[in-house]
Amino acid sequence: MSRREGSLAPQADSSVSLLPHLEAKIRQTHSLAHLLTKYAEQLLQEYVQLQGDPFGLPGFSPPRLPVAGLSAPAPSHAGLPVHERLRLDAAALAALPPLLDAVRRRQAELNPRAPRLLRRLEDAARQARALGAAVEALLAALGAANRGPRAEPPAAAAAATSASAASGVFPAKVLGLRVCGLYREWLSRTEGDLGQLLPGGPA
Amino acid sequence: MPAGRRGPAAQSARRPPPLLPLLLLCVLGAPRAGSGAHTAVISPQDPTLLIGSSLQATCSVHGDPPGATAEGLYWTLNGRRLPPELSRVLNTSTLALALANLNGSRQQSGDNLVCHARDGSILAGSCLYVGLPPEKPFNISCWSKNMKDLTCRWTPGAHGETFLHTNYSLKYKLRWYGQDNTCEEYHTVGPHSCHIPKDLALFTPYEIWVEATNRLGSARSDVLTLDILDVVTTDPPPDVHVSRVGGLEDQLSVRWVSPPALKDFLFQAKYQIRYRVEDSVDWKVVDDVSNQTSCRLAGLKPGTVYFVQVRCNPFGIYGSKKAGIWSEWSHPTAASTPRSERPGPGGGACEPRGGEPSSGPVRRELKQFLGWLKKHAYCSNLSFRLYDQWRAWMQKSHKTRNQDEGILPSSRRGTARGPAR
């Protein structure tokens, strides 16, 4: 791997022979992130359509509700070393599945005759988990994985206690939009960060 | 006023869902504005209303600094700004809204009623559910495939349009005992259908009904009572073969096999055949095919491709007196009738012109018999056997005549003799 800003070198000399394999893994994970970003766009479009106007209207700017355990990529994210960025990406991808599951359960009540939306939300949770695992595996292979116990994503129980105060349908729609938006943002961020590991420079 | 029982008070707010990991930290129906300075609460939250009814709602602002004003607030409904004359300021922090003669909800997730600050930012939202209670479902029909399962279909009342999500539940129980059971596999043969795959009793009647429920109430269909054996259908007959009948140009033979799933029970099966010309959409149906597995179609056009299908009605299983239910049609099978060998200007299936060497009394009689046969194209072995012999003789004698004419002068041509019988 070339010595360029943001690139990582494998820890052990013996892994030089693994470089092609590692590079292939990076490409594969990058391609997966790219594909899932497209799916996330489709999910978002379908979601807003089913919530009704004004959700799908241009200029719709709902409050950016805080989501337990997950925030949007910070403006400073792009300036971090690539291994830090990928760690944040992996952490966000690990936090997303329970959020997407919660949105799916609520949408099953609000839009029970929308099987495609419900299926997309279910797939999104599974795909976020898979991509997060792939990014963590890459970090481990690059010797940049977290040492010590991994921080668990927010437990569903912890989220439920704070969620009990909120039961309105409109806020639930807004929250679902926020979660779908965060999902898309983090996928796009992961794709960009992985692209920086590819030979030839940033994607 | 629509029929059906009313549910809870029409304007009651929707009951909060069970504890779900919804992840909000502090909302209470009051999303923060973009600046985070003010929040608001809309009342009522998520009401359910009848079409044509009215709604009085309020948007109460609170936040920092205290005394946030209601001046400048406005409402939108499904993204459209509501006329200012529908709103009025109740007090310094509360804006009221009066909507009359509400239409049915535009989407099942609820109409979005939003309170905006002067700058357009969203202060709060509430979802309106406007619709009708369900009407009584009706027209329940059920059938059992090979006595193993039961599928039922029904028609929702009021053509199904309640503007609210309406849940349909098919219930069934044994008539004289047993508990109510609920069907679980929905939408198997259309949006209003359900499939019960197993554990069905024979020789004892079932009671079946449909319950429809939405936010505004519920309704129940009339009870249908049936015995599984009276509503049996089966698979289409397999192995349908269509073939020519020797050289006969206007007949095809159809053969099939009794549906295997019921082969031990089909003592009185009925069959129907339908056939059509290749480039036509009009089917002709042959009805009177009882308990046979073959049939001969007659009166067909020579040199023509026909599509043929067969279906089965397994009536009378275990002594059932009911009519039974027709299976689906078998996959179409195609065959073509032989081309006509009679000479004519264009060949093929043309009738001969008058004055041709083969015209005469025998040809006229043949034409009349063919005409009669076309009207009565059903399976009658006796008449077909005689007709086959007669036709075969006619064709043979026609060929012989043509060959003779090829070598004899025209003055030696004569009329063909009729059949020997």
Q: What is the pLDDT of residues A22-70, one digit of tens each?
A: 899 999 999 999 999 999 999 999 999 999 999 989 889 888 878 888 9
Of B265 and B354, the structure prediction assigns the larger pLDDT to B265
Top mean pLDDT of A52-66, A84-98, B349-363 is at A84-98
Which of A109, A159, A167 has the CB atom closest to B23's CB atom?
A159
C-beta atoms of A111 and B79 within 8 A:
no
Give the start-to-end residue ranges of the domains of chain B: 39-131, 138-230, 241-337
Whether B39-131 shares its CATH topology with B241-337 is answered yes
Q: Is residue B152 a contact partner of residue B141, using CB atoms and an 8 Å limit?
A: yes
pLDDT-derived band at B386 (thresholds 50, 70, 90) equals low
For A112, nearest residue in chain B (alpha carbons): B165
Q: What is the pLDDT of residue B107?
A: 92
Q: What is the pLDDT of residue B117?
A: 92
Q: What is the pLDDT of residue B355?
A: 36
**Interior CA angle at B418 toward B412 and B421, to 5°?**
145
For A68, nearest residue in chain B (alpha carbons): B23
Query: What superfamily in CATH does domain B138-230 come from?
Result: Immunoglobulins (2.60.40.10)
- The whole-number average pLDDT for the span A164-176 is 81
Of B170 and B344, the structure prediction assigns the larger pLDDT to B170
CA distance A76 to chain B (A): 21
- The whole-number average pLDDT for the span B407-416 is 37
- The whole-number average pLDDT for the span B153-168 is 88
Tokens of B81: 């700004």
Asked if pLDDT for residue A142 goes beyond 60, the answer is yes
pTM of the model: 0.69
CA distance A162 to chain B (A): 5
Asked if pLDDT for residue B59 goes beyond 60, the answer is yes
Q: What is the pLDDT of residue B9?
A: 41
Asked if pLDDT for residue B66 goes beyond 90, the answer is no
Q: What is the pLDDT of residue B67?
A: 52
Query: What superfamily in CATH does domain B39-131 come from?
Result: Immunoglobulins (2.60.40.10)
Asked if pLDDT for residue B35 goes beyond 50, the answer is no
Asked if pLDDT for residue B407 goes beyond 50, the answer is no
pLDDT-derived band at B281 (thresholds 50, 70, 90) equals very high
Which of A160, A164, A168 has the CB atom closest to B126's CB atom?
A168
Instruction: Convert the pLDDT of each residue in B189-224 to its tens digit.
Output: 999 999 999 888 888 899 999 999 999 999 999 999
Asked if pLDDT for residue B27 goes beyond 60, the answer is no
Which of A106, A111, A166 has the CB atom closest to B108's CB atom?
A111
| A chain contacts of residue B29, beta-carbon cutoff 8 Å | 166-168, 170-171
Of the candidate CATH numbers 3.40.50.1820, 3.40.630.40, 3.40.50.10420, 2.60.40.10, the domain formed by B241-337 belongs to: 2.60.40.10
For B21, nearest residue in chain A (alpha carbons): A160
Asked if pLDDT for residue A161 goes beyond 80, the answer is no
Asked if pLDDT for residue A90 goes beyond 90, the answer is yes
* Cα distance between residue B144 and residue B196, in whole Å: 9
- The whole-number average pLDDT for the span A151-159 is 47
